[in-house]
Amino acid sequence: MKKSLFLIGVALLGLANQHTVVASPVTWNAGDVLIGFESTSDKLDYLVDLGPLATLAAELSGNTFSPVNLNADLTNVFGSGWFTNSTADVQWGLFGITSAKTEVLSSVPSGSNPLPEIGTGGLGQALANFEALGGKPGGGGASGYNGDIANGQGLTVGVEQFVGTRPDTTTTTWTGNSPSVQPFGTYNVTIENGVAGNLDIYGITSSSQALLGRLTISTNGVISAVPEPSTYTLFGLAALVLMITYRRQRRNNA
């Protein structure tokens, strides 16, 4: 019984104490997913590389996504009131596409219809614009995201982009692919939500759509996955077992 109690406690501790990740900005590579924040009033963009599309998709669908703490960077870019300041109108969204143009990973505001399935032509245009946004490696140097890393901005996780200035021109900015005007030359629906709202993350091909998970961001800047209802149920059952076992042991000791 004591062993079972210990194992249940370890499981609960693992669910409740996921650590947040804080790391230096990494160079964007083809196939990586970017999560972006933009202020429409200040015309500022902040982007974070979440790594390879396949890895992130597996983490979301398997409930193994590690929370990411962006509070210092978001405060640096948008100010201390980035979450509640309505004048800044900070929006966030996620987008990624495989270099083979076979799959898109993208967000919609939670509860919205999924993004449409798109053909090879649309995927090709999305890839071209997204690579410009990320800063496609090679060809004499990177632009966009990778170019901003080279500027030594001093941010801890992502990079800030400045609309209309080099290297952040045309499609090399998050705002330049405004979701209200066919972002990435592919969609005519928004991929963004206000920071107070959640994002539904879909994996999309030319013939299928699959909801992989949901991301939320707290007032202190921590991005985490919203557990599936089954996870909450498991958590509740484990807590109930702990309580029953504890009371039974107390009675036996008495």
Whole-number pLDDT of residue 99: 87
At residue 18, the pLDDT reads 46
Q: Which helix (H) or strand (E) holds 39?
A: strand 32-39
Q: What is the mean pLDDT of the chain?
A: 79
Residue from 153, 157, 188 nearest 167 by CA: 153
At 159-170, the pLDDT tens digits run: 998 877 777 776
pTM of the shown model:
0.79
Say whether pLDDT at 6 is over 50. no
Tokens of 146: 């990778």
- Cα three-residue angle 28-32-33, rounded to 5 degrees: 110
Average pLDDT over every residue of 58-69? 95
- What's the rounded Cα separation, in Å, for the pair 35 and 251? 53
pLDDT at 251 over 90: no
What is the per-residue pLDDT for 227?
Answer: 85
Per-residue pLDDT reduced to its tens digit, 44-54: 789 999 999 99
pLDDT of residue 248 exceeding 70: no
| Tens-place pLDDT, residues 85-106 | 766 789 999 999 998 999 999 9
d(CA 30, CA 111): 29
Which one-letter amino acid corresponds to residue 14?
G
